[in-house]
Amino acid sequence: MGEVPEGQPQRLFVKLTADFGDPQCFNDPNEQEGVAAVIPGDSSEERLNHHDIVLHLHGGELKQISHLHPYYTPLHYTIIFPTGELGYHINILARHGPQEQQRTNKVSETSYYVYRLQQRTLEFNAALLWSGRLFQQYVVDAWASTEQTKLNWVWHNQKKIRAEVYQGVVDAAAGDEEVTPQSHHVILPSSHTGSEQQMQQLFQDSMAICRHF
C-alpha cells in the first residue's frame, strides 16, 4: 500500500478468504447419510432387560438370545462376517499393556467396538469398513447395544451411585408431599452422556469459563 497524504480519506476493502472447512457439514442429513435407531417402549425394567432377538433354528424351534451373545453379530451381519467370526461377549479377556494400565481383566463393550472401528494398515476389518449402509447399521447397532448395557448397569446399581440421596433432594425441591422408595425415578450419573447431571455439570463449567474470561 502506497503512502496517502495526511488528512485525505481512505477506503479500505477487506475480503475474508479463510477456509472454514466443508460447508456441507452443516447441511441437514439426507436419506443417503442419515441413520437412526428406533427403540420402542418405555424405560421400564422389563424393557431394559429385554432385547427382542429371536433365532429361527433349523429344527423349526425359536430361541431368544441377548444382544451380548457372541453369535448375534455373525448371524445378523452375514455379509460382513461370512466366516462366522464371533462378536462381542462379556468373557473376552483383556491383554495388558507394558505399563499394566488395564483396570480390568475383561474387555468392555465400548473398548471392543472402538477397536473394531479403527482403520489400520493391515485391513483385517476391510469388509466392515467398506460395507456402506450396512456399516452404518452396524455402528448404530453397536451404539444401541452399549447404551443398553450401560443403562442396565445404572438400573441395577442405584445404591452404588447413591441415587436415593439425589432423588430425595429433587423430590423435596419439587414440593412432593411424600417421598417414598416406590416413587423414585432412575437417576443417571454425570458420567452418562446426555444425563441431567452431566448437562448441569457442563452448564456450570461453561458459566465458570465465561466468568473467567
pLDDT digits (tens, 9 = 90+) for 76-129: 999 999 888 999 999 998 887 666 666 678 899 999 999 899 887 766 667 888
Cβ within 8 Å of residue 90, ≥6 positions away:
68, 106
pLDDT band with cut points at 50, 70 and 90 for residue 187: confident
The CA distance from 96 to 1, in Å, is 63
Cβ within 8 Å of residue 87, ≥6 positions away:
69, 70, 71, 72, 73, 74, 81
Q: What is the average pLDDT score of the chain?
A: 77
**Cα 84 to the chain's mean position, in Å?**
26
Given a cut of 80, whether residue 67 has pLDDT beyond it is yes
Comparing 125 with 161, which gets the higher pLDDT? 161
| DSSP element (H, E) containing 65 | strand 62-65
- Identify the residue whose cell numbers are 452396524: 138
Neighbours of 103 (CB within 10 A): 7
How much is the pTM? Answer: 0.67
133-156 and 109-116 helices, crossing angle to 10°: 170
**N- to C-terminal Cα distance for the chain?**
36
| DSSP element (H, E) containing 154 | helix 133-156
Q: Residue 54: beta bridge partners?
A: 64
